[in-house]
Every structure is written in C-alpha cells, then in structure tokens.
A and B are shown apart, each in its own frame.
Chain A
Amino acid sequence: MTAFLAEWWDLRDLGNTVGALLDWIADRGVPDWVPYVLSGIIGIAAVLLWAILSQLAFIWIERRVLGRMQVRLGPNRVGPWGLLQPLADALKVLAKEMVTPRNADRVLYWLAPIAVVVPAILVLAVFPFSPGMVVADLNVGVLYIVAVTSTATIAVFMAGWSSSNKYSLLGAMRTVAMLISYEVVQVLALLSATAFTGSMRLLDVVAWQDRYNAWLLFLQPLALLSFIIASAVEVNRTPSDIAEAESEIVAGYHTEYGGIRWGMFQLAEYVAGFAVAATITTLWLGGWTLWGLEEWVPGWLIFLGKLYGTFFLFIWLRGTLPRVRIDQLMGFAWKFLLPLMLLNVLLVGAEKVVWAETGASAGVVLPAFAVLNLALTVALVLGWGALAGGLRPQMRPKRPLLVREVGGIYYQPMP
C-alpha cells in the first residue's frame, strides 16, 4: 500500500485532516497539552456521533428488513417509506416519563444505564477505521476489547437487581450466566486470531492480513464461526436473546426502565453490536484493506461497508432463527463451542510452530493452512455435532452428592 499523502485534503484518511488541524493549532504557540487533549476530544466526539447516527439508521433498516423477511410492511407511516421513524422514536423516548419503582435501590437503579453505556462506547476507541483514524492505538487492543466489554456484566446485574422485580432479576441472572459462558468462547476465538497473526495491536493484525493478502476469514473459519455465535449471545440478538425474551420474562433486566433510561440500554445494545461487527471486520475481514482498492476509495468507507455488512448478518440471523432455550444455550457454549475452540487454539499453536520450523514461504504455507483449517472446521463441526448430539442430558436430575453429605434439603422436581 502506498503511503498516504499527509495533506489535509487527502480524505482517504480523515486522520490527516485532524492532524493538520492540530499542527496548525500547535503552531499558534499554545501549551503542549492543548493539541493532545483536543485530539482525544475530536476522536471521541467523532466516534460517538458516528455510533448514534448509525444507530438511528439501523433502527429503520432493521425494522424494514425484518418486516420484509417476515412478509409484512414494517414502519411506513412517518415520512416517505417510514424514514423518519427513528426520529419519532427518539423524540418519544426523550419525552416519556421515567418511572422509578417504589422498592428500587435508587442509587444502583440510576447508575445502571450509565454503567451499561460507558463501556459500550469506550470499546469503539481502539478500532482502526483507517491507518490514521484510531482514537487509541493500544498494543493490547484485543485484550482491551475483551476487558471493557466484560465490565458490562456487572452493570446489567445492577439494573436487574436494583429494579426489585422478579423478571428483571431473572433476566439479569440469565445475562450473567450467558455472558460468563460465552466470554470464554469469545476469548479463545480472539486468542486464535491474535496467536495466528502474532500481535494484539489491531493495526498490526490488519497490516498482517494486508501483507500476506489473506484475510483471517480464510485461515481461521472455526474461530470466526464461534466468535459470531458467541457475539450474538453477548449482544443479545434474537437467536439467543433469552435475557430479554418477551414471551418468557417480559423484557428481562430492563423491564422497569422507561424513557431515556431505556433508550440508554437500547443505545448500548446497538453500539455493542457495532463493536462486535468492527471486531470481526478488523480481525477476520482485513479491516480497511480491500486488495488495493483502498488506494482509490477511502479506507474508512471500506471499513464501514464491511462493518455494516457484518451487522446485517446479525439482523439476518434475528429474522431467520427461532429463540433457543436457556439450557440449550448454556450447554451449547460449554459442551460444543468450548472443546472445539480449545482444539483450535492447539491447532493454531501447531501451525505456527510448523511455519517457523520449516521456514516455508507464506505463499506455500498459508493456502495449505487455509485448506486444512476449512476441512477441519467442517469435519469437527459435523463430527462433534453428531457425537455430542447423541448424548441426551438427564432431564430429571438426582440428588447432588454435596446435598447428601451436608444433609441439605433438595426439592424434587415435579414428575
């Protein structure tokens, strides 16, 4: 890839424009910290603006697309083709009264929406929209994504617990259990990707895929598959939205929230979805690169195109698949995805060693790995599915050993 012209009018990388502006300010003789602080503020403001605009767009797109998929019209009353529906929704959410339940734990109830939104937005800081458009270029970027998203768990629990509503608490407990289970799978999938490229810095991962002209999609299909499934669970999209399953527990952990507080949960959910799509785009789909096209088209447009395409996949999944039961979802994480991902991590290590020991060129090794990994993915998913699918869990458990030892009471399930 040719070097970008470092001129402000080179809009292939908006980082140039911001950099030129900051240089201009620094030349005016202000203290050193002014451009530094300004660069942070500009980056966060841009990312936040992008996230909110994308959310407004995708509220409309998601409802229209789901409508088409379910053979109905979707929103079509407000503006042409219902285009103004997101604005109407936003106004309604802003104007609605926020009711606080009488028995709620007011401090936590008030704090929870904020604690849910903050990590969701913080994650966006590390994604490289193009080489110069990254708010915080951390050398532990992948770990940062996992760490910051993991703090949302306790925030969701705060919401469910403080509402003092049984459905809220049930939803919160389901969410905590789900997040803990699928976080393991997610981390192992990310570990496969980073171990293969040998760096946790997102810019390096994109550069690796650019150098070898090989997206990790082709080299790590099993990790991508597991990551998509685990992420769909983490962001509560429908095949696995048992934390807010309407037909079971009203709206889960945000049952008691209304008005803009509910809007905050909605925002966090969408932004988390964008963050997941951005992770997939960066690690598996080559980020802002598209085999040379990035020299003509702005890299951030390519990145956004891939990101929206990935997000559309989640809408598609939502429109297609029925919701699974909680025990099925938990069993799927622990009995199916986890063993496969452990095997995959072992495989990645073996492949790295083979590559380093034989000293073969990338042109030979990478296609071989791609074919091998694809074949193994198909074989493992089908084989393990056939094997594990035959094992039926005992639907009526007997008394646990610990209960007998300590003489506790165990309520037999109704026959």
Chain B
Amino acid sequence: MEDAGSVVAFWALAALTLGAAVVTAAVRDLVRAVVALVLSFLGVAGLFVLLSADFLGVAQVLIYAGAISVLIVFAIVLTPRAARDNAETAMLWPALAIAGALMGLVIAVALATDWGDEAREGFRETASAIGEALLNRYVLPFEVASVLLLAAMLGAIVLVRED
C-alpha cells in the first residue's frame, strides 16, 4: 500500500466501517441501526476491493448489504414493539465485556501476525480461483454447508406446517 490513493481510500473506508459500526451499536431505533449496519457492510466491501478481492467485495455487497439486512428487517417487522422503543437491556455489560475481549483477541492476533507486506503484482482474477477451490479442494465442507442450509430450510417449513 504505497500510493497515496490507496492510503486515502483505506482510511476513509476504515472510518466509514468503524463509524457506522459504532452508530449501529449506539442508536436506539432498530431500523436506523440496520441502515448503519448496511453502511458498515459497504465499507467492508470497499476494503475487500482495496485488497484486490473483487469477488469477495461484490459478494459482500450482495449477501450482507443486500440479503442479511433484509433478513434483519423481517425480524424487526415481525417483532412487536421492537422498532422505535429499543429499551435498556440487562445484557449490556456482559455483551460489552465479551465484545471487548474479542476485540482484544483480534488486535493481539493482528499484532502478532507476520503480514509479509510486499509489493502487489498487479490485479489477478479471484472469482475462478475461489470457484475451483470450493469445488475441488474444499468440496466436502462446501457440500456439508449446503446440506446444513437445506436442513435449516426444511426445519423452518416443518415448524410452520399446518396441523
């Protein structure tokens, strides 16, 4: 990361990601929290693109900003009184403690890792590499994940089946 454009883009995207994440946690209105969460996801997608991971960046937008956010919206809409009076919860301090511990762990790992920063050698296509890895080397976890998702879907259908 030597040229000025990448550095500016990195700090701007990092500020967007973290700022939106803070807003997500702090804001009272759950729908506003979802919107801030989408912004945070978009920032992460930008960071992926900055790392030349084009497929991951686009997939991040498609899955997280496009689909997961809508899933959360469904959860909000189907929950009575969930939206505009997001009250105090007893879980505040335990959640803060766990989140702080996780953050400390991630920072410790990041500092201990040898990043091996070398000059980038141009842009390489990642979509086909990811596809081949998923269907050759990692085909078992890939298939297990798909069976798991199918089981979850069937479970949801069974739960709302008529008696």
Contacts and interface: CB of A to CB of B under 8 A. Distances in A.
B32 A105 contact: yes
B48 to A, nearest CB: 12
Contact of A105 (B31, B38, B59, B159): B31
Contact of B70 (A153, A162, A200, A399): A153
A139 B163 contact: no
Interface stretch (A254-262, A303-311, A362-370, A400-408): A400-408
Report, as a range, how many residues of chain A touch the other chain.
35 or more
Interface stretch (A13-21, A143-151, A268-276, A314-322): A143-151
B163 A404 contact: yes
Interface string A140-168: 10011011101101100110011000000
B158 interface: yes
A154 B65 contact: yes
B66 interface: yes
A403 B67 CA distance: 27
A400 B31 contact: no
Contact of A139 (B54, B65, B69): B54
Report, as a range, how many residues of chain B touch the other chain.
20 to 34
Nearest to A161: B31
A151 B73 CA distance: 13
A41 interface: no
A157 B72 CA distance: 12
B147 to A, nearest CB: 17
A401 B161 contact: yes
Interface string B53-95: 0110011011001110110011001000001000000000000
B127 A139 contact: yes
A63 B59 CA distance: 39
A144 B58 contact: yes
A399 B67 contact: no
A176 B161 CA distance: 23
28 contacts: A105-B29, A105-B32, A108-B35, A139-B54, A139-B125, A139-B127, A140-B55, A140-B127, A143-B58, A144-B58, A147-B59, A147-B61, A147-B65, A150-B67, A151-B61, A151-B65, A151-B66, A154-B70, A157-B73, A158-B35, A161-B31, A162-B31, A176-B73, A176-B74, A399-B162, A401-B158, A401-B159, A404-B163
Interface of B: 5, 29, 31-32, 34-35, 38, 42, 54-55, 58-59, 61-62, 65-67, 69-70, 73-74, 77, 83, 125, 127, 158-163
